[in-house]
Amino acid sequence: MLNIENIQVEYPDGLKALTKVSLNVEKGQNVAVVGANGAGKSTLILSIVGIMLPQMGSISIDGMRVNKQNLREIRKKAGVVFQNPDDQLFMCNVYDDIAFGPRNYKFTEAQTDERVWASLAALGVEHLAERSSHKLSGGEKRRIAIAAVLALQPELLLLDEPTSFLDPKARRKLIETFTELPLTKLIATHDLDMALDLCEKVIVLKEGKVFAEGVPKEILLNEELMQESGLELPLSCKR
Amino acid sequence: MAHIKNAVRDLHTLEDLAAGTTVIHRLHPLVKIITTLLYIVLVISFNRYNLSGLIPFVFYPVILMALAEIPYRPLFYRLLVALPFAFFAGISNVFFDREVALYLGGMAFSYGFIAFVSLLLKTFLTVMAVLILAATTSLSQISCQLARLKVPNILVMQIIMTYRYLGVLIHEAYTMFTAYILRSPQHKVIKMKDMGSFLGGLLLRSFDRADRLYAAMKCRGFGGSFTISDDAVVKRADWFYLLGLTAILLVLRYVNFSVWLGNSLNI
């Protein structure tokens, strides 16, 4: 589904954000990308959808190589849920926010309407359709941000810190929702417990490089490896 | 600065009012925009000495506010922001245009004074008309109709974004202000020497947010223009309102009822 080979991403000031990163995500897999602050998790997500194109290496989604010519198609295949929903919800009400993507892709109003309601239903938030985005709670905003991405029916969902700013109940509800969503997911997160619960594979980034990769229990429960990568054991394993 | 949180709350008062269900709220937004624009144009079109002609136009905001069940206080509170500008723009008339226009109760009133009062009244009426529109029509409806009226997409987008992110910006300013005060307990306001870095920090945060927002928009296929749903239908009641109000406003504009009433009562 997602294939990344030896990519290198540099910021305009010359700082290397990712160096020789290679990874592979199979269709239907849930993969967590973990790492300390500044390890390159968010940059990796932005590179996949071409917001920051790599200077070296290649990224392909479902066999389609990410380049400037096909970004529109790529961004339909891969939807990004940003860390802060306030960066993503900007229209006057929830309905228009969710309809923003389908309308940009020139779907008819009837098709857009169908997709909006389907996305709202998938997240169980139909009752919020007419509400103003800025008046929602943190958990509601997050669900609407996900619904807004689902409206384009992506094959790959890229989530940047999806559980940040959420209270425990909203976090738990969101993880349950992720479990029910039949999509390939790449989740950049600090929430190691979620990675342990939800994902089949974990990739550890350290200073822009892949430091370790494997099944969650092997990686996340390895105290030495976690410490070396600037992380700690999941909270559930500390008790 | 200490009332930043109130400012955030105030920002959304009009939006709460716009969620009403009165007869005015239910009118088609395009009809409300057209009648508001017509009202503003007619009010502005009066000669600056024609104070008597303007007076009947006061009934428009009064009647609309009553029908829309809008409380006076939040609108007058916002009006206070605009009035000082009109006051300082018009006060020079009083000093430079001193020719006596009329005597009332033994007091002489100059043309300059009448022009000054007329400017204040025009400001009051036009600002109230816009505030009533905002208090009876949601921003998404207004934006949608502006797009329908072929207002450039970029302008409509600016209106939506400004409204949406003003609250976020104020909230960020409040957070920064709180952090500042907590480390500077002897001060109640930001010192002038720190103001540059405070505003600079706020600007940089805004740039960062704008970058992230634009990235989020591009990820959902944004290519420079967007559309908003428009499912409101113009009904018969909307046509009655539009034609009726237009006729009344035109009559008020070209027939000076104040003078007519004064002559009839022989005042």
Q: What are the tens digits of pLDDT across the range B208-265? A: 888 888 888 888 888 777 776 666 788 889 999 999 999 999 998 888 877 777 777 7
d(CA A206, CA B102): 84
Position B179 in a domain = yes
Q: Is residue B24 part of a domain?
A: yes
Helix then strand count (H, E) for chain B reads 13, 2
Q: Answer for the pair A145, A172: CB distance below 8 angstroms, yes or no.
A: no
Of A86, A90, A105, the CB nearest to B221: A105
- The count of other CB atoms within 10 Å of the CB of residue B161 is 14
Q: Is A79 on the interface with B (CB under 8 A)?
A: yes
Do B236 and B127 lie in one domain? The reply is yes
Query: What tokens appear for A106 in the block?
Result: 């020139």
CA–CA dist B239, B141 (Å, integer): 18
**Residues of chain B found within 8 Å of residue A96, distances taken between Cβ atoms:** 140, 228-229
Question: What are the structure tokens assigned to B166, written together?
Answer: 């003003």
- Count interface pairs A-B at CB distance under 8 A: 83
Select from B221, B135, B133 the least CA-distant residue to A77.
Answer: B221
Same domain, B175 and B238: no
Instruction: Quote the mean pLDDT of chain B.
Output: 85
**Location of structure tokens 């990224």:** A59
B25 shares its domain with B132: yes
Contact criterion met (CB < 8 Å) for A51 and B219: yes
If asked whether residues B25 and B114 sit together in one domain, one would say yes
Neighbours of B208 (CB within 10 A): 11
Give pLDDT tens digits for A151-166.
988 999 999 988 887 8
> Nearest 5°: phi and psi at B56?
-60, -20
Kindly report the pTM of this predicted structure. 0.73
Name the band, by pLDDT with cuts 50, 70 and 90, for residue A238. low
One-letter identity of residue B260: W
Inter-chain CB proximity B215 and A46 less than 8 Å: yes
Q: Is B70 inside a domain boundary?
A: yes
pLDDT in tens, B124-172: 999 999 999 999 998 888 888 888 888 888 888 888 888 878 878 888 8
Residues 6+ apart with CB under 8 A from A64: A70, A73, A74, A77
Q: Which pLDDT does position B250 carry in this prediction? A: 93
Q: Minimal Cα distance from B208: which residue of A?
A: A87
Q: What is the pLDDT of residues B161-202, one digit of tens each?
A: 888 788 788 888 888 887 788 777 777 788 888 888 889 888
Cα–Cα distance, A186 to B195 (Å, whole number): 42
B6 pLDDT above the threshold of 80: no
Task: Answer yes or no: do A93 and B213 touch at CB < 8 A.
Answer: no
B181 and B193 share a domain?
A: yes
Q: Which two tokens stand for residue B196?
A: 């540059």
Residue for token pair 């909230």:
B171
Q: What pLDDT, on the 0 to 100 scale, is given for residue B267?
A: 59
SS3 A21: strand
pLDDT, position B5: 63
Same-domain status, B135 and B41 = yes
Average pLDDT, stretch A123-139?
A: 84
> CB A104 to CB B220 under 8 A?
yes
Query: Each residue of A25-81: pLDDT tens digit?
Result: 999 899 999 988 888 888 999 999 888 889 999 999 988 898 888 888 888 889 889
Residue B171 lies in a domain: yes
Chain A hits for B208, CB-CB cut-off 8 Å, are none
Q: Are residues B116 and B237 in the same domain?
A: yes
Q: Is A166 helix (H, G, I), strand (E, B) or coil?
A: coil
Asked if residue A32 lies in contact with residue A178, where contact means CB atoms within 8 angstroms, the answer is no
- The verdict on B193 and B241 lying in the same domain is no
Domain membership of residue B1 (yes or no) is no
- Report the pLDDT value the prediction gives residue B229, as an integer from 0 to 100: 67
Considering the domain architecture, whether residues B76 and B179 belong to the same structural domain is answered as no
| Chain B residues inside the 8 Å CB shell of A100 | 217, 220, 222, 226
The residues, ordered by sequence, that sit 6+ positions from A100 with a Cβ below 8 Å of its Cβ are A91, A148, B217, B220, B222, B226
Tokens found for residue B262: 């004064």
Cross-chain residue pair A76–B221, CB shorter than 8 Å: yes
Same domain, B120 and B32: yes
Q: Does B212 touch chain A (CB under 8 A)?
A: yes
Say whether both B181 and B250 belong to one domain: no
The question of ipTM being above 0.90 is answered as: no
Domain count for chain B, please give it. 2
**Alpha-carbon gap: A228 to the closest alpha carbon of chain B (Å):** 31
Q: Please check whether residue B80 lies inside any domain of the structure.
A: yes
Which positions 119-158 of B are in contact with A (Cβ < 8 Å)?
138-140, 143
CA distance A229 to A206: 6
Interior/surface letters A98-130, b for 16+ CB within 10 angstroms, e for the rest:
bbbbbbbbebeeeebbebbbebbebbebeebbe
Question: Which residue among B167, B209, B226 sits closest to A87, beta carbon to beta carbon?
Answer: B209
Which has the minimum average pLDDT: A5-9, A82-86, B26-30, B36-40?
A82-86
Question: Is residue B264 in a domain?
Answer: no
Q: With contacts defined as CB-CB under 8 Å, which chain A residues touch B213?
A: 87-88, 90
**Which among B165, B168, B212 has the least Cβ separation from residue A82?**
B212
Chain A residues near residue B226 by CB distance under 8 angstroms: 100, 103-104
**What does the pLDDT average to over A106-134?**
87
A93 contacts B168? CB cut-off 8 A: no
CA dihedral B237, B243, B244, B245 (to 10 degrees): 100
Considering the domain boundaries, does residue B11 fall inside one? no
Cβ distance A100 to B15 less than 8 Å, yes or no, reads: no
Length of chain A: 239
Q: Model confidence over A22-35: pLDDT tens digits?
A: 999 999 899 999 98
* Segments forming the whole domain that contains residue B116: 18-149+232-257
Shared domain check, B218 and B174: yes
Angle between helices A168-180 and A138-150 (to 10 degrees): 20
